[in-house]
Structure 1
């Protein structure tokens, strides 16, 4: 069913030019202006909070997996979800603070979870700034007031979590700061508007002194982590010595962002109570380790299955069976045999409408959550005809928008 505010927006042609009139801050414009969906998105606020509450409860189940299934052994947990021993050794067993994004499809009045991303290494938090600019667009104000529209900003929630009176740096590694330079400049710009001057750097630029990490000579109170566990292995001694600098989020987040954890919960329902099973059934499509599914079933059900690399990001390692031939599918199954991949039931999302475009659009709703609940949204969308991987970094045909709640 179409949200009534969405329908009101679609019915009023005078509103359809709002995205072309936005006065975007310079770095936000450089990052996104060329790839904006030609409409905002809308959602009832109680739905935003309700789904966020489900996502937080789902994370609680993920956090409980080592205890429930592996007698508290993180070594066995890491092995089960395909994390290499050298990475597990530096990840530790601390429960991370809740900071994540759930990528979700809307199916009618329901929402189905595709994957969970845990930690701060998540794209799209500055789309809360895009929502703010839409909300403040002068010609859009009558509609904003009529429907009492508001927005949530993930960057603001991040700064609340790390503390606005501390020296903060966003740290990457492996040239990723250059690869995603426009995005990081937009993050930095958003933080500056909120009164926090954030440094940008990579691990190889960091030194340690008196227990603190220093970036180009500046002592860091908090290092917001965008580098991966794989990248951190070579800097294990540095990070251990710089323990007085808070690492937000800690490397232990990586346990819970693996798609393998969803496969564990989807398959091992016997470790859950009735309410927990209901939560998993409500949110999660059928998901299994690829290695555990008979090859004849994988072959027969190609058009209803998608194969995903357990630790992939930005759409890497995602293979929709319905867009492949039988031969291509069989070759894929051979190529990834024995590697950490999962297979998931195809979810058929409700198409979205974009004014002036007759094509049905495919939208991924990225629910940001913190310990405080709903923290904003990353909206990514594209025509169905442009593929099945809705990823801004991984598919150049993907566009973005902002979410307003009512």
Structure 2
């Protein structure tokens, strides 16, 4: 972190030293709706401060990486998209659904970069390119809620703190999407997969609240709740102009009515009756980053520089149906203490194995199995630590921080942090890990 952000963080912590300090208890003073509290029930006791110039410079590199990922079929495969997706291990069935709405140009910039700060620079671990982004409601809500706490507002004014307005940027992006089909003020439907509202309903409603605070009319439901009148989708009796897609491909493929549920949505998008935001997640496959790393010399000098600034060394380990790559496995066995293993098509930390956290036999088994199913290996980046003061006890502790940088067509649009106390695994994910806490960013 910059000297400025470190100095401000130390000042905030100093303001939390006294037991009755309003800063120390700011989290408990947050004014949040019940929906938002249910969406993010486990919050870190304080926000995190980041140097805006440093963060925005990283955001510009993220835009470059996004553009390069979208150019991979042309740059590395002579424009042959089938060769590109097969090299990522994407089979015909998945590809048919992933690319049904994919035009000649890559989808609009929209995604979440998962990032570590290694002590000197931000490093990109994964780039979730597509619409089903977790955390944006928290990123768009918490900074404003913190600034309604008088002690935080006073501190922010004294130190010149601001924030990136994710809610405003997302609202603008969805309005612009609606304009492409002639919808002046679009109705946005946040659409889950079958049964998804049972698990994620409170989070989707929190996103709707965020958008409604930015004057966007929203409806929330499952894909099976959509009704089609002359091809136009309706939800809860209201026409739908833009679908913010939260139905995942894997969950759809597991449903017996997959094609029947998806086909009318596809047709409505193709006929200009609705905009599916975004139309594909094919570029979210983790293997795309391995391609950038392995074939970095195929890019122009400025592009190579951006890749090398933000992307750790990573390589594809294998793809479905392929036999083990003995040479690559041997290399990974030698570098076990330096590498992390990741399945290319999973999310939320599923299947991730940290080399130093397992024994040699488990590491070898993981590599050999992964070489047949689609996976990559990536050089480990050590996360920075954020100091936290417990509001109840005053005890200080250090937490590993996983940063999230949210991107919209306007560029870097917001950020947050997921954090976990040291001592267990360094895989920081909300799935089945009750120790993870979340917070927002203030810029300085």
Q: TM-score w.r.t. structure 1 length?
A: 0.94
Measure the CA separation in 1 of the matches of 2:395 and 2:347. 29
Q: Given the alignment of the two structures, is residue 67 of structure 1 paired with residue 74 of structure 2, yes or no?
A: yes
Instruction: Give yes or no for contact 1:131–1:401 (8 Å, CA) kept in 2.
Output: no
Q: Given the alignment of the two structures, is residue 404 of structure 1 paired with residue 442 of structure 2, yes or no?
A: yes
Q: 1:300 to 1:404 in 2, by over 3 A?
A: same
What does 1:287-302 correspond to in 2, within 5 Å?
287-291=314-318, 294-302=328-336
**Any idea what SS the aligned residue of 1:200 has?**
strand
Aligned residues: 403
Q: Partner of 1:228 in structure 2?
A: 248
**Any idea what SS the aligned residue of 1:338 has?**
helix
1:20 Cα offset (Å): 2.3
1:269 Cα offset (Å): 1.6
Q: Partner of 1:341 in structure 2?
A: 375
Measure the CA separation in 1 of the matches of 2:39 and 2:424. 21
Instruction: Give yes or no for contact 1:118–1:256 (8 Å, CA) kept in 2.
Output: yes
What does 1:170-319 correspond to in 2, within 5 Å?
170-230=190-250, 231=252, 234=259, 235-243=261-269, 244-251=273-280, 254-291=281-318, 294-319=328-353
Which of 27, 48, 53 pairs up with 1:46?
53
Measure the CA separation in 2 of the matches of 1:182 and 1:329. 38
CA deviations on 1:2-57 (whole Å, 9 max, x unpaired) are 62211221222343222222222221112223x11111101122222211111001
Q: 1:357 to 1:100 in 2, by over 3 A?
A: farther
**Any idea what SS the aligned residue of 1:97 has?**
coil
Instruction: Give yes or no for contact 2:173–2:409 (8 Å, CA) kept in 1.
Output: no
1:394 Cα offset (Å): 4.7
Instruction: Give yes or no for contact 2:112–2:407 (8 Å, CA) kept in 1.
Output: yes
1:76 Cα offset (Å): 1.2
1:143 Cα offset (Å): 0.5
1:327 Cα offset (Å): 2.3
Q: 1:262 to 1:357 in 2, by over 3 A?
A: farther
Q: Partner of 1:24 in structure 2?
A: 32
Q: 1:174 to 1:378 in 2, by over 3 A?
A: farther
Q: TM-score w.r.t. structure 2 length?
A: 0.86
RMSD of aligned Cα (Å) = 1.9
1:310 Cα offset (Å): 0.7
Q: Partner of 1:351 in structure 2?
A: 385
1:115 Cα offset (Å): 0.6
Unaligned runs of 5+ in 1: none
Moved more, 135-144 or 64-73: 135-144
Moved more, 126-135 or 85-94: 85-94
1:202 Cα offset (Å): 1.5
Instruction: Give yes or no for contact 2:241–2:275 (8 Å, CA) kept in 1.
Output: yes
Measure the CA separation in 2 of the matches of 1:287 and 1:334. 17
Measure the CA separation in 2 of the matches of 1:317 and 1:283. 24
CA deviations on 1:254-308 (whole Å, 9 max, x unpaired) are 2221110000010012211221111111101111111355222222222211111
1:109 Cα offset (Å): 2.8
1:210 Cα offset (Å): 2.1
**Any idea what SS the aligned residue of 1:380 has?**
strand
Instruction: Give yes or no for contact 1:43–1:405 (8 Å, CA) kept in 2.
Output: yes
